[in-house]
Structure 1
């Protein structure tokens, strides 16, 4: 177990890849596609899944100034698209010349049959990539095969993918179009009797698990972190209180976008069948929130109480899963001093007590009079801290119970005290919508849990040891994102939604009441 007072910032240059699966675009309105592109503002858009000219046209019409990768559209099965990215030049189509070493490359093949041809081009110097930054290869319809009888999985074209990874000095990451957006696995493959690790991330074009839109932060180290959002969270369905039936009625009345709703008077909304006054007021207020990208507080209640004028400590934990056997990382960010404290179990993942004791003794000895703030803490962070203390360190339970703990998610979402501009209520989505600039670790919560599970299975093996600095940075990033959201809520206008939407199509709102 180790602790530290602050984490080094390991942010690297990243580019943003947005995936809009073709099978999903068939059922999504054009305003919803436009909304998704504007919300994510990607560097590059890819359309995985089956060939679909209509889907491609829909995206090109919406994102006329952004590169769109849909190599399946080409006839003849020989199409390869190649783009390059640097922080200075942005993303552009690759010329047939050697790039600077720090260039990130994105290569999309039309079919798996072209992987061999791509490999030949790379080893013959017919095609060049940056040697010091990752190369990402998009295979639009690649799907991991599952054998139910043997309970095993097979990666199609594994030999070709291993050859690609072995041929290049930089990290190579594969995007599998047919895998769910949350899929990420590092495959251990063989090439010329040598072990090759090939990370594979899903692009979400799957009917089995529900196809999603997703944005990927892609780093120079080949890491990817997916922000997956259901397509129903864009367009009219993004608004609080609008389901499919209401969206259909609005569209039939000529109201197709969030902006259209925002320009309606509440009385116009209530004229539609099935929309009462309270629902209409909330719909209209949420339209304001999405348009402004600023939260709206609906109460004069404060989200957090403190014993003095110091801000709350922002806390986040990392576990080995949703039903944890260990809390292996505690992260605490103190906005008063702009420092982060990390407690990480690096030595014995079978014993949850040392890291737990390090955290609780530090907290009680130094900050017993401070308020703690978490996101969904009552359902996760505080819940499991209490559970583990009761099991391993019961002598500290009473003192822990005396600590003031608050849950910003509960206050804003469950207690309906605020409307937020995130398309989901996950912390990273809300923080992103509020302008938070993440550290770009290329990690998700599921990936941190999976990494620690691998360490638990083989704690003595160097290959299974997580990149501790990177995982500490991920936890710190969540703590800082929480502070960003909390600060935005404190600065947000406080309004009574019953006073909104009185201006009608003119867009002028009268009678907005501050508490």
Structure 2
């Protein structure tokens, strides 16, 4: 177990890639696609799934200034699309010359049939990639095959994918267009009598998991963090209280975007069939929040109380799953000193006591008079800490229970004290919608849990040991994001329950009711 302060990322800039699956583009409105492109901050767009020129045209129209990868639309099956990315130059087409070693490469093929040709190009040097940063291989319709009889999975083109990975000296990550956005798995594939690790990340072209858009943070180390959002969170249906039937009524009124709704008077909304005063005020207020990117606070209640003038400590924990056997990382960010303290269990992954004791003794000795803040902590962080203390260190339970603990998610969302501009109420969505610049660690909560599970199974294997600095940076990023959201909420203008702020298109006062 170690306790570390002031963890930071290494300054590397990841590639932000936006997946707009063809099956989703064919079934949502063009304003919703434009809304998604504006909401996410991508440098490159992919259109995974089946070949559809209409889907490509939709993406191209929504993002005229970004490169759009849809190699399926071509008729030549042997073409390889090759782009390069650097923080200085952005994404650009790859020339024949060798790139700088730190350049991220993006290779896209029309289908798996092109992979043998690509492997030949790479092994011969005809096509060159940066040797010190990851290469991402986009296979638009690649999907893992599931045998219901043997309950086993098969990866199509496994031999070719292993050959390409073994050919290149840098990390290679495969972007599988046919897998859902939540899919991420490291396949162990055989090649030349040895084993090759090939990470596969899904790009969301799987209708059984719903229509989604997803942004991917692709790091130079080859790690990928997916951020998927349901497609109905964009366009008019992003507004609270607006389902498809209400969206149709709004379109008949001439509204295509949330900004159009913002410019309507409340009285115009209530004139539409099925929209009452309360619903109209809710829709209008949410349009205001989404369009401005600023929260609305609906109460004079304070989200957090402190014993002195010092701000709350922001807490986040990492576990080995939703029903954890260990809290293996505690992260605490102190805004008063702009420092982060991390407690990580690196030596005893199957013993939850050492890291727990290190955290609680440090906290009680140094910060027993401080207020603690979490995001959804009443549903997870606080009960887990209490449960583990009761099991392993019961002598500290009473002292921990005396700490002033608050949950900003409960105050803002569950208790209805604020309207937030995130398309979901997940911390990373809310923070980014409020202008937070994430660290870009290329990790998700599920990936941190999976990485530690693997470490627990093989604690003596160097291959199973997580990248501790990257996982520490991920936890710190959540703590800092929480502080950013807290500041945005506490600095937001309090609004009376009968004033949404804009007055509507005709200048009539627009009401605001409970969210």
Q: Is the TM value for this pair above 0.5?
A: yes
Q: CA deviation at 1:29?
A: 0.5
Give how far 1:509 is off: 6.7
Separation (CA, whole Å) in 1 of partners of 2:83 and 2:506: 44
Equivalent in the alignment of 1:223: 223
Query: Where does 1:63-82 land on structure 2 (aligned, <5 Å)?
Result: 63-82=63-82
Note if contact 1:132-1:170 (Cα within 8 Å) is conserved in structure 2.
yes
1:13 and 2:16 are equivalent in the alignment: no
Instruction: Check conservation: 1:262, 1:501, Cα contact below 8 A.
Output: no
Q: Check conservation: 1:30, 1:58, Cα contact below 8 A.
A: yes
Question: Is residue 2:483 matched to residue 1:483?
Answer: yes
Answer with 6-15 or 157-166: which moved more.
Answer: 6-15
| Conserved 8 A contact 2:135-2:173 | yes
Measure the CA separation in 2 of the matches of 1:207 and 1:510: 39
- Residue of structure 2 equivalent to 1:94: 94
- 1:72 Cα deviation from its structure 2 partner: 0.6
SS of residue in 1 equivalent to 2:208: coil
Offset at residue 208 of structure 1 (A): 2.3
Tell me the equivalent position of 1:198: 198
Q: Quote the offset at 1:498 in angstroms.
A: 2.2
Aligned to 1:263: 263
Is contact 1:371–1:405 with CA below 8 Å preserved after alignment? yes
1:2-41 to structure 2, matched below 5 A, reads: 2-41=2-41
Cα drift, residue 49 of structure 1: 0.5
**TM-score by structure 2 length?**
0.97
Partner of 2:53: 53
Residue 184 of structure 1: aligned partner: 184
Seen in structure 2, the aligned counterparts of structure 1 residues 142 and 367 have a Cα distance that, compared at 3 Å, is same
CA deviation after TM superposition for structure 1 residue 432, in Å: 1.0
Q: Does the Cα contact within 8 Å between 2:265 and 2:506 map onto a contact in 1?
A: no
Aligned to 1:165: 165
Aligned-partner Cα distance in 2 for 1:510–1:113: 59
CA contact (8 A) 1:266 1:501 kept: no
Give the equivalent residue in structure 1 for 2:360: 360
Q: Deviations over 1:394-424 (max 9, x none)?
A: 2111111110000000000001111111111
Q: Distance in 1 between matches of 2:211 and 2:278?
A: 33
| Contact 2:497-2:511 within 8 A present in 1 as well | no
Q: Is the 8 A contact 1:180 1:211 kept in 2?
A: no
Q: Is the alpha carbon distance of 1:303 and 1:285 closer, same or farther for their aligned partners in structure 2, counting shifts above 3 Å?
A: same
Q: Say how many residue pairs are matched.
A: 513
Assess, with a 3 A threshold, how the Cα gap between structure 1 residues 507 and 187 changes in structure 2: closer, same or farther: farther
Distance in 1, Cα, partners of 2:397 & 2:204: 44
CA distance in 2 between partners of 1:5 and 1:104 (Å): 30
Q: Alpha-carbon deviations, 1:211-257, whole Å to 9, x = none?
A: 42100111111111111100010001111121222112212222121
**Partner-residue secondary structure (3-state), 1:449:** helix
- Structure 1 pair 271/501, CA: closer, same or farther in 2 (3 Å)? farther
TM-superposed CA distance for 1:209, in Å, is: 2.1
Give the C-alpha shift of residue 500 in structure 1. 2.2
Taking the aligned partners of 2:371 and 2:508, their CA distance within structure 1 comes to 41
Q: Report the 3-state secondary structure (helix = DSSP H, G, I; strand = E; otherwise coil) of the residue aligned with 1:505.
A: coil
Number of the residue aligned with 1:399: 399
TM-score by length of 1: 0.97
In structure 2, C-alpha distance between the alignment counterparts of 1:290 and 1:412, rounded to whole Å:
16
Q: How far has the Cα of 1:152 moved from its partner?
A: 2.0
Distance (whole Å) between structure 1 residues aligned to residue 238 and residue 510 of structure 2: 25
Task: Classify the secondary structure of the residue corresponding to 1:499.
Answer: coil
- Using the TM superposition, give the Cα deviation of residue 299 of structure 1 relative to its aligned residue in structure 2, in angstroms: 0.8
CA deviation profile, 1:131-168 (whole Å, cap 9, x unmatched)? 11111000000001112233222111111001111111
